[in-house]
Structure 1
Amino acid sequence: MTSETREAFGQVGIWSGALHSSRTDDVGRAAITEAVGELEDLGYGTLWIGGSPSAEDATAVVAATRSITVATGILSIWDHPAAEVAAHIATLDPSARERFVLGLGVSHGPMVPQYAKPYSAMVDYLDALDSATPPVDSRHRVLAALGPKMLKLATGRARGAHPYLVTVEHTAEARAALGPDALLAPELSVVLDTDLDRARTTARNMLAMYLRLPNYTDNLLRLGFAESDFEDGGSVRLLDSLFALGDAERVRDRTRQYLEAGADHVALQVLTADEGGAGLPRAEWRALAEAFGDEL
């Protein structure tokens, strides 16, 4: 990773599916604005807008912040035409546009009626971004890459990769596939709960949907898990490999494992028992910032 990328992204960021201004009312938008301002003040390097955001969601967060990098995690290429996305990004002030990164993904067959030839569709989408006026160039793009082909594409046609729901072992393999210079920024889901049985229940509630999506299960099978690990919401082995469970210090230690395996940046998604990942867990974000201290 270059020093420019290291400075732009930082080591630790926050991933949240609750930062969708287009899906809420004025009160909700005010809460998002206040929350992202605090996250910036806490020192996190990057804000990842999760849960299939739109370009509108992303530009609203950029406008509500001053200097932090803002990225989509992940915008579906099937839902948002490249020309429209590029045109919306072009409305940003040039200095704000510099700190925006368009995270792109091909989503999943069970969720997209028109799903076909996802790799070719991504190549075509990147071509369209290149030819837009102004273009969204590779320096401002990352791909939701899991397998070898998409990881290779993330090296040549984007700044790097933003894998979701991956293990430390996958991170090491992804680094080898990407080479030393491309950004590798995996998501890591977090449950701040020292009651591990309860924490695993929270994790299973989130994981259930993803275990119905073959892109994720195929990747986990490649990593050595078995079909039996997907039963009953996920085995203990699977949960403990995919999540950071416990107190803030434990989350810090798990994050370090990903960094030591080759990640440049880790995007933390905080899950809570009452909200899953749908709310703005500001107390948990503060606790993590305190635990990481200068490591942010």
Structure 2
Amino acid sequence: MSEDNKTKEQEVIAKLDAFAELPDAPPKRRLKLSWTGKIAVGIVVFWMVIVVIGPYIAPFHEMDMDGDDGFLDAHSNEYGNFYLGTDYLGRDTLSRIAFGARNTIGISIVATLLAYCIGITLGIAAAVKGGWTDMIISRVNDSILSLPAIMLGLIAIAALGSSIPILISIAAIIYATSVFRIARALGQDIMVQDFVEAAQARGEGLWWIIKSEVLPNAAMPLATDFGLRLVFVVLFISSLSFLGLGVQPPASDWGSMVRENLQGLVYGSYAAIWPALAIATFTIAINLIVDDISAKAGGSLAKKMV
């Protein structure tokens, strides 16, 4: 063996010895929820089941005008029971809530998943590559993040029109900016940890480090932030629908149901209250789960969320 090869081999061994006693990646911990967190999980699971089977178990179709008048109280008539009364057109409120869950929650989940695909990909890329890549992506992200979400949504809908694919795309792009920030911050924190330096000293490739070290250690904070981001998207979609720019009639949506039935409050109708309670129960339950998980982590997760 030549002297150059021996010298290179000794240098590699010296680097490995220097990292021999560095700690491995932190072990995964089991998630334990308090009783409030478990109740919140039950509420979220209930609404997710409604998203799947709601249209099949609803007493009426969302567009059926079976009430003989608008804003009827819960009562029986020749067509059946209106357990939560009717809306301003005589449509069953309970049925429209069941149908609307698929639009409100379904659109929000798809938009949030898309936002995470975009945000995590760009965030981890910026954290790992650094330099000009980080600067260019971060400046573009900051320019989008500087605009109010509702205003940006209104401008986009005015230009492109309102449809479910457009709503999903707009919400995904708007909230991918926040996901990018937390993914980038987590990636930068992890890339300077000892176990990443040890992997680099072993000669592991960049993709292996991202797949085996960065993503597993960022998974819990990102999963927790997913719940928080989902709440924001639900409120964003519901706000657009309340303004008449979200899901368009005759399709049901919780935000539009609140707007359409506000006049019923004057007549003592609860048709606007029930969809508002549906939004509240879903979003509050998710917030309780996020708070519970963050508390179990000593509040460290909440500090990273933006």
**TM-score, normalising length from structure 2?**
0.22
More relative contact order in 1 or in 2 (CA 8 Å, sep 6+)? 2
- Which structure has more helix as a fraction of its residues? 2
- Which structure has more strand as a fraction of its residues? 1
